[in-house]
Structures are given as C-alpha cells and as structure tokens.
Amino acid sequence: QKEVEQNSGPLSVPEGAIASLNCTYSDRVSQSFFWYRQYSGKSPELIMSIYSNGDKEDGRFTAQLNKASQYVSLLIRDSQPSDSATYLCAVNPDDMRFGAGTRLTVKP
C-alpha cells in the first residue's frame, strides 16, 4: 500500500468552478500536511500547510484535514487557467512523503 495516495487524475474543470483534490495517507502518526503546486518543467512550490483537523483557508485555496479518516484535501475556488498544474500532497510523520500528484487543467 502506498504511503500517500492522490486521486490519479487528470482532473479538468471549467474556469470559475471549484477544483477538489484529494489525498489519503497510511501513517496514523502523521502530524503535518502540505500541498505543493508544480507547473510543468518547474519545481514544487508550497501553497498550503495544515496541522490540525478542520479547514484552513488562504485566498481561493482551502485545505481540509481529517486525521481520523487519514484524509486531506485541497479545494480551489473560482479556478483560473493559471491554476493548471500538478498538485502534490505531502505528509510528514517523521520524514516527508509525497504523493504522485494530480494534474489539474482549468479550461477557459
């Protein structure tokens, strides 16, 4: 079983819609959770960190964490074509583990 799994995608949404990206993890002692955005040919860029159950909002981005279900998600509201990228989920029990990523395309 993979340690960090993301919905495989690719995910395509129209401009202005909500994009929902999901991630599950296997290590129950995980304490910190991150979402990175990676444009094609570029390095990952940290966009959200979340450490406790519930929602955390930053602009158009909302991260949601449910430790009991071992589930973390990222919602992107009012999606823009510039949001088109691969989104990596990362989980840190004691060392960082990355999911394979979900490719998002926002169509104008």
Partner 1 sequence: DGGITQSPKYLFRKEGQNVTLSCEQNLNHDAMYWYRQDPGQGLRLIYYSQIVNDFQKGDIAEGYSVSREKKESFPLTVTSAQKNPTAFYLCASSTLAANGPQHFGDGTRLSIL
Longest dimension (CA), the chain: 41
Q: Give, in degrees to the nearest 5, the angle at Cα 79 between 2 and 97.
A: 20
- Closest distance between partner 1 and the C-beta of residue 25, in Å? 13
Interaction between residue 39 and partner 1 (CB under 8 A) = no
Footprint (CB under 8 A) of partner 1, residues 40-79: 42-46, 49, 51
Between 29 and 68, name the residue whose CB sits nearer to partner 1: 29
CA atoms 73, 81, 88, 1: torsion sign = positive
Between 17 and 92, name the residue whose CB sits nearer to partner 1: 92
Which residues make up the interface to partner 1 (CB under 8 A)?
Answer: 4, 31-32, 34, 42-46, 49, 51, 88, 90, 92, 95-96, 98-101
